[in-house]
Structure 1
């Protein structure tokens, strides 16, 4: 039985030659196709030439940092899922990654098995689920936009609104339980990151509101319920 994400093409970006080689070998043994480069500049060249399903990206590199590369890719509307590797495990550092558009983070040193598990979790979130008539769910209206729950696709007046894997998973979790308040713990579990702190969930919600709400400071659809969590209230 194949695991989610098998045969996915990963781009590993790390300036540490030894770690880069270890990551490439381990992830290849786990069934992934792996390209490895040593800098953000090399990553840009690879991304311009090939399609990748996920980036495994070191945050601290000579020249352009992983955070800067992530921010640039998101500005360019490149929503390739990104798993950030960081030697800084403090909550504020992980939150900074989420604010820049990272999907998940893993602090060094890490167990290679956890790396593979997180990669597969991100790929599972990012992949369009197999749909059948029995599983079909009516799209949810969010003002002038519509969200297809099963496809994880948000479509506005000008076409598809690009969501990261984490943003799509968050909106799916809320849309599947319209009108119900989801705690931050429930949201973290739905995103596949049950260890995520409250602040990390809040950051994801803030990012999603920028793509859903006309005025993110006065959210109409994704509402905060004080001391409890968040609730989705769709409508025209």
Structure 2
């Protein structure tokens, strides 16, 4: 189990208005050694963030009042980059894709296996807990056509215009850019970007590529291309 920098257990905040599920998750994750707090609503979740300072939020989407996407939007607007795993019963791709505008790191469709959630929690924490933003030599940049990634500042511009990306979107784009001209499979992205070294049927990579592509394509010709049945490739526009 990933530990905090001071050796204490990672702190998780579970947010779900379904009491029985929230209690089950608290019990299961506490048994694994995590320090787990539950919130029953979006409003309670925002208050708990200040008190708990969690390392990861497990956030139900479908809550009355302030839903999970709304909570995530407020977190990101305030500069809170705590990783989020969404729990959702929504199945429409547009619902999921729109939700990732809130900066979620992953999502699980209900019903899900506790083992699957546990694996994903561990993978996210291994990547994020106790670590500052990855350090790189000052001034390091990657350029593909008019797309420029400033690795030290974690900033992206295209045609001179800044593109607002979540930390996960930045990691995805950085990996694709580092492999410009090469087809990268979905399983490779899950392994290299999300740290998933286990088999999963997650459509996470597809969802994030869709969202990232939508942001990039607003400012110029398509850069991220789908190679059907294989994966994705980032390359400069063809002349």
The TM-score with structure 2 as length reference comes to 0.72
Q: Distance in 2 between matches of 1:183 and 1:51?
A: 35
Is the alpha carbon distance of 1:197 and 1:23 closer, same or farther for their aligned partners in structure 2, counting shifts above 3 Å?
Answer: closer
Equivalent residue for 2:68? 66
- Quick one: structure 1 residues 9 and 226, their matched pair in 2 at CA, closer, same or farther if it must change by over 3 Å? closer
Match of 2:160 in 1: none
1:231 aligns with 2:234: yes
**Matches of 1:8 and 1:93, distance apart in 2:** 30
Deviation at 1:90, TM superposition (A): 3.9
Structure 2: which 5+ residue stretches go unaligned? 158-162
Query: 2:97–2:211: 8 Å Cα contact kept in structure 1?
Result: no
- Separation in structure 2 between the aligned mates of residue 5 and residue 164 of structure 1, nearest angstrom: 24
In structure 1, stretches of 5+ residues that fail to align are 210-214
Equivalent residue in structure 1 for 2:203, among 196, 221, 229: 196
Name 2:53's counterpart in structure 1. 51
TM-score (norm 1): 0.72
Give the Cα separation in 2 of the matches to 1:88 and 1:37.
21
Aligned counterparts, 1:169-188, within 5 A? 169-184=171-186, 186-188=188-190
Q: How many residues align?
A: 215
Q: Do the aligned partners of residues 208 and 51 (structure 1) sit closer, same or farther apart at CA in structure 2, a change above 3 Å counting?
A: farther
Q: Which residue of 2 aligns with 1:212?
A: none
Correspondence for 2:212 among 185, 200, 205: 205
2:232 and 2:148 mapped to 1: Cα distance? 25
Aligned-residue CA RMSD in angstroms?
A: 3.6
- Checking the alignment, whether the CA contact within 8 Å between 1:13 and 1:43 is kept in structure 2 is yes
Moved over 4 A (4+): 129-132, 135-138, 142-145
Q: Which moved more, 1:109-118 or 1:73-82?
A: 73-82
Tell me if the contact between 1:39 and 1:61 (Cα under 8 Å) persists in the aligned partners.
Answer: yes
